[in-house]
Structure 1
């Protein structure tokens, strides 16, 4: 007598076949294959010499800005670090693998002390980096960051013109994606969850 398999048996067989089949590959990183990033030698807020390779094995969030920025830099950094905090709460082990970095484009004013005060306001693990004008120029060039001193302001001081991109790099220093700081902390946390594994 011929017996037909039950619906439950068919469903189980299909489920097992799907589990044993090939899984869809992860999406390709938006910045995969680009030449963004590279080695640098800068000075940390604590006075240590820092190289890009010092962070090998860690994901890296990188933002170039300046501490005296009146609006864009603190807004971008605040949103990026709030997104990182959300990601850390949801994924403590993965969050610990991300090193956030703030690189000054204004070495004339951004001393170690000034950079430390700026970064401490946003995240306890955010490391501020500064250096000589030549070191900053080399690092900015490697990371495809534009910056220039703006006009002097009434009452003293000056602004800096610069690109405001928040990069995410992988453990080998490879560029992965930009973080959507313009969309807020939730969007940043979502983007981190997509790539940090």
Structure 2
């Protein structure tokens, strides 16, 4: 009996409580024994009857403490296990996302590099040209390097199409220039009617659309050279009694990069200005990703 109590008292969780309980048991037993006879048989009966309920109480105490300790340890193990799983999942997701976005960025940059290389092979605006601006100064391709510019070929006597396109260009320029996240855009107008469009006529004409417009004209050969560089078609129609005529020409806006390379074109009159603006901004951002 004493060995069992000793065993129960060895538990660190119940040692104090068991010790106090057992001390009380032996104190009570000693008092009870004072009135017993000295018969061994009687002592054994008293021991059994006295210690049985108290021993059961001690065992229940030990069992309850052990159960609580086991449950607490199990909960701690389960919590640690769950935390470990969450950490593994988090690391996996972070690694996967990193690899995915790195691959996506690399693929996107490769596509931009491929397109940039293709555009450099396109010979639109690639060859040099020489024209005269609205102030009488000679302008060549080198004068426009380092700036984004939007270029349009037309003529000042155009009844409707050219004014509509230049109005659209002016709106595009205003919207682009108001956005500080992208570079400013220079509007350029090239006349395909050198016979009637002198620098003075060009200056008055383009000033009605936007103050930043650069108007270009020149001799017939100079205009032909510039039109050929940009693959622009133009042809003068028959003259009427007043010697007036209409010129048929390509209706295209060319977007040129600061390196002087062709980037994009907008040739459909039905395309809204908003879509052209978004396209230009995206081309500018793509260019900045590649060239800084």
8 Å CA contact retained: 1:40, 1:135: yes
Tell me the distance in 2 between the aligned counterparts of 1:147 and 1:10. 62
Mark the CA change 1:77 to 1:95 in structure 2 (over 3 Å): closer, same or farther.
Answer: farther
Of 116-125 and 63-72, the range deviating more from structure 2:
116-125
* Aligned equivalent of 1:104: 191
* Aligned equivalent of 1:87: 176
**Is the counterpart of residue 189 in structure 1 residue 277 in structure 2?**
yes
Tell me the distance in 1 between the aligned counterparts of 2:279 and 2:203. 27
Tell me the distance in 1 between the aligned counterparts of 2:169 and 2:163. 10
Unpaired runs of 5+ residues, structure 2, are 1-76, 286-292
Aligned Cα root-mean-square deviation (Å): 2.4
8 Å CA contact retained: 1:110, 1:130: yes
How far off is 1:116 after superposition?
1.1
Tell me the distance in 2 between the aligned counterparts of 1:11 and 1:117. 63
**Is the counterpart of residue 146 in structure 1 residue 233 in structure 2?**
yes
**Is the counterpart of residue 48 in structure 1 residue 137 in structure 2?**
yes
1:4 to 70, 85, 107: 85
* Aligned equivalent of 1:169: 256
Unpaired runs of 5+ residues, structure 1, are none
How far off is 1:158 after superposition?
1.0
Tell me the distance in 1 between the aligned counterparts of 2:281 and 2:165. 19
Aligned residues: 195
How far off is 1:104 after superposition?
0.5
**Is the counterpart of residue 61 in structure 1 residue 150 in structure 2?**
yes
Tell me the distance in 2 between the aligned counterparts of 1:174 and 1:164. 19
SS at match of 1:5: helix
* Aligned equivalent of 1:132: 219
TM-score normalised per structure 1: 0.87
Of 4-13 and 58-67, the range deviating more from structure 2:
4-13
Query: Which structure 1 residue ranges, 4+ long, deviate > 3 Å from structure 2?
Result: 6-22, 153-156
How far off is 1:21 after superposition?
4.4
Q: Deviations over 1:128-163 (max 9, x none)?
A: 000011110111111101111111246541111111
Mark the CA change 1:110 to 1:57 in structure 2 (over 3 Å): closer, same or farther.
Answer: same
Between Structure 1 and Structure 2, which shows a larger proportion of strand residues? 1
Tell me the distance in 1 between the aligned counterparts of 2:241 and 2:93. 74
Mark the CA change 1:40 to 1:150 in structure 2 (over 3 Å): closer, same or farther.
Answer: same
TM-score normalised per structure 2: 0.61
Of 2-11 and 157-166, the range deviating more from structure 2:
2-11
